[in-house]
Structures are given as structure tokens and as C-alpha cells.
Amino acid sequence: MTNVHFTADSTNYPVGFGDLPKHLMNKESIYPLVKSQQTGKPYDDDLCAFRCLAIHRGHEIRCIEGPALVYFRQWCEFRGSNDGISYDLFPDFEDLFDINLEVYSLDEEGFAWSVYKSRGLQDTTMYVNLYENHMSYIRDFSMYARKYRCETCDRNFDHAGHLHKHQRVCTDKTKYVYPGGFHRAQDTVFEQLEQYGINVPGDQRTFPWFICYDFEAILQKVDDRPTEFLRWTQEHVPISVSICSNAEGHTDPFCVVEPDPNELVRSMVSYMEEISCKIKELSEDKWGWVLEEIGRKIKERRDAVADEKIDEEEEEEEETKEPVDPLQKLSDRFASYISQAPVIGFNSAKYDLNLVKRYLAKHLELQDCEGAFVVKQNNSYTCIATDSLKFLDMSQFLAAGSSYVGFLKAYHVAETKGYFPYEWLITATKTQKKTSLPPHEAFYSSLKGAISTRNGIYIAESVERRRNVLFSRLPSLV
């Protein structure tokens, strides 16, 4: 991080001795109090605040050492320590010595700003100037400064009283202007229900069901040169999709292998819609009482309106469109919430959805779905929603750069990321008459310039033998 400016406005160090610049030493309205009037030696203690108090209480400047020491001892007895006075102890100083303390700071141009504003609880007020850690007594406050500046908005005033009045209402702090607006956290549907007296327990405010999916693609070789400096060598073509859910009856993985991308996406959407119907059924069982409670309250509100007497003049007026009841809108929102199944992928916003976007919109019937919407950021589809499905990307909710391998390890998942011979499987027909995994060399990746580890291949072979899912099924499915 560069170009950072730090400002310390309070150190809590004791206020004590110190040198003063010329503009303060030559100020007639100030007693600098940097050296003794009797000996001419500079002060080397932390009693400047108590010397100011001695002058304020009528002692001659030549005779303030004794009273200042008495006040300091009173302060030490009051505090129970020999420490001097610091900024955070100014209120205690006021209470002990029955004075109002007003602390200012003065720059070379004669502009003063308030460092500490008294609460105004006492009858008498002591004005002091603070420079670094040294206090000087202001003997003529009317001659002290040319202008008084508000630190919040930098506005200047002729009199300190005007400054104090202004500070009570000043709100001109730093303003951040966002042309597109800024994010405001919206109430969840359950928080909105609370506003109408419908309280859903905390353990019932989480949507427990979801659908997971993942596409695999073959890399078909192409030789396309759209420009002199750009050459396309391979094209990703979807070949299979795996789907699973935690909804009852759909917990077993479902795999579709289909060389026709259009038919592949159609089969995927059809199966997801089937799962969504089951999830909606489970949701209605879980939150049906909420819908009933909303319906009851809507009926009560309508009956209350119907019972009100309407003036004859109002009856004769031209009919106007009846406004929609906010509770009815909330009912529609909640019904939509429990009817929409989350569809989760990993890095799907950038890869999976872009892989099938030319076919997905048609099979989701986005053009005919009234509640459908798409959220696109650059080349990523972060959300695609219909009345029954909402496609989301898990990586959007993780730290930037999170990998799928790291995600599985973080949650101690026994399964690992699979290994796929992308550059070997360039056509669907290549899997015909294949009943086992291809040789180790087939897992070479020109992008990484290496072959997958043999340990990874052994894992893949173990999965293939145990589940008999991938290559043994391809001949019958393609």
C-alpha cells in the first residue's frame, strides 16, 4: 500500500513542558509558561496545566510555583498516582477543580480550532492553548485568534461562540458519492415477516436443499485464425453432465453422456426440474404454516377494510386502481422463495454456464418466464434464475483464488478432484469399445506441460472399478 497519510489526534501522553514557536511566544494574549519568571530557567516538569490553573485563580505569574504544586498534589491524591494530566482526563480535571476547560490550538496564520470543548457544568471557564504536549494560559481570549475553524467542515468563524453553536449541528463530514448508488443490505424474507408479527424460528430460516452439477467437455481440434496474431486450436464442446442433490429420492449421482449439446442440456434441465418439484414439495411441508399464517393475516386486513364506512361522495368518484397490499407482495415473495431450488456449481459462472449458454436459455424458457433474470459480470454469469431454478456459483462466496481442491480439503471431504484425459478424448466415438481407462500418457496436458501424477491415475482407476460409471458406460450411451 502506498500514498498513505497517518494523523495521530490523541496520544494520551501527559501534558507537560515543551518549546513553543515564535507565533505563540510573541502572542500578547498568551502566557507561554515555558520558563520560570523567577529563575529564568526552562520548565522540565509536567505542571503546565496546574500553572494555568494558578493564574486563572488569581495568583501572580511570578508566584505560581507554590499553588501549582499544591494543585498537582491534589490531583495525584485524587487520581491515586503521580501521573500528570492527559487528554482523556480533562473531564476529571474539570470536576476536581470546579472549572470549565476550553482547549484550543493556534496556527501561524491566526486560525484557531477547538481541541477540547467543555461540558459547561461549572461557573467559571479557563481557556488554554495546546501546542504538542504543552499548555499555555490564554489571558485575553478576545484577542487570541483571528478566526475559529471547524475541524469537521473547515468553515471559519469570527467568534468562538459561533463556532460552538455550529459544532452542535455540523454534519458536513466527508461525503462519498457513488454515481451508481451503494449497496444497502436488504431485509431477508424472514425479517420482513417479523414486521407483520410472523416469527419463524432461527433454525427454520435456512434453505436446506440444493442441486449440484458439473460439466465435462471434449477438446475438438480447430484451426481458426480470426486475426493475424490470434489462432484458435481447440474448441470446448460439452459431452457430459453430472447432477446430484440432497433432496429425498435424488441423492444418487445422475450422469448424462450425450454428444449432442442441445440434447445434453435438455436432459439436464428436465432432471433438474424434476428435483425442483420434489424440493418445492418438501419446502411446503416445512413452511406451509407460514403461508397459512400470511393468508390469515391478509384476510383479516381485507375484512377490516371492507368494514369501514365509505362516504357517498367517495362512492360516486371515478374508480381507481386498488393498490396492492404489501403483505400480498410479501406472500408472493415467500412463495417464490420456497419454490426456487438453488443449483450450485464450482467456477460455473466462468466456465460451465458459458459452455452451454447458447442452449441453456432455450431450455430454461427464459423468454417466457415472467420472473426470470440474469446477472452477468463481464464474461461471468453469476446468477441465472427462473421460477423453479436459480443457478449460482459456489466460488463467488469464497475468497478470491480459492480452488476446488482447496475447498474439498478445507471441509475434510474424502473425495478428490477427478482426473480427465481432455486431450485424448477429442471425439465421442473414441470411447467406443473402451471398457477401461486409457494409458497414463493419455492424461498429458499441453497447458500444464505435464502428465497427471500416477497416484491420481490410480485413484481414477479405483473409482472406475468401484463404481463402473465413466468409460464402461460410454459405449452404450453415445
User: Per residue in 95-125, pLDDT tens?
Assistant: 999 999 989 888 888 888 888 888 878 888 8
C-alpha cell at 309: 364506512
Contact 364, 412 (CB under 8 A): no
pTM, full prediction = 0.57
Mean pLDDT of 348-376: 91
CATH topology of domain 22-169: Cathepsin B; Chain A (3.90.70)
Output the CA–CA distances (angstroms, integers) from residue 373 to 128, 350, 385, 386, 445, in the order listed: 64, 18, 5, 7, 37
Dump strand ranges (E) for 45-192. 100-106, 111-116, 125-131, 134-138, 147-149, 156-157
Distance from C-alpha of 416 to C-alpha of 407, rounded to nearest angstrom:
10
- pLDDT at position 214, please? 93
Give the pLDDT score at 6. Answer: 57
Residue partners of 163: CB distance under 8 A and separation at least 6: 114, 148, 149, 150, 157
Percent residues over pLDDT 90 in the chain? 33
- Residue 343 neighbours by CB under 8 Å, 6+ apart: 210, 211, 212, 213, 272, 389, 390, 391, 392
Which range, 186-190, 268-272, 308-312, is most confident? Answer: 268-272
For residue range 320-338, list pLDDT tens digits in order.
Answer: 555 668 888 999 999 999 9
Q: Tens digit of pLDDT for each residue in 21-47?
A: 888 888 888 998 988 888 888 888 888
What is the distance between the alpha carbons of residues 466 and 352, in angstroms, rounded to a whole number? 27
Q: Is 267 left (phi over 0), alpha (psi -120 to 50) or beta?
A: alpha
402-424 as b/e: b if 16+ CB within 10 A? eeeeeeeeeeeeeeeeebbbbbb
- pLDDT of 452 > 90? The answer is no
In this prediction, what percent of the chain has a pLDDT beyond 70? 82
Q: What is the pLDDT of residues 231-280, one digit of tens each?
A: 888 888 899 999 999 999 999 999 998 889 999 999 999 999 999 999 99
CATH code 3.90.70 region(s) in the chain = 22-169
Mean pLDDT of the chain: 81
The arrangement of strands across the sheet holding 211-227 comes to: 254-257, 230-245, 211-227, 341-345, 389-393, 380-385, 373-377
Residues 50-59: what's their mean pLDDT?
92
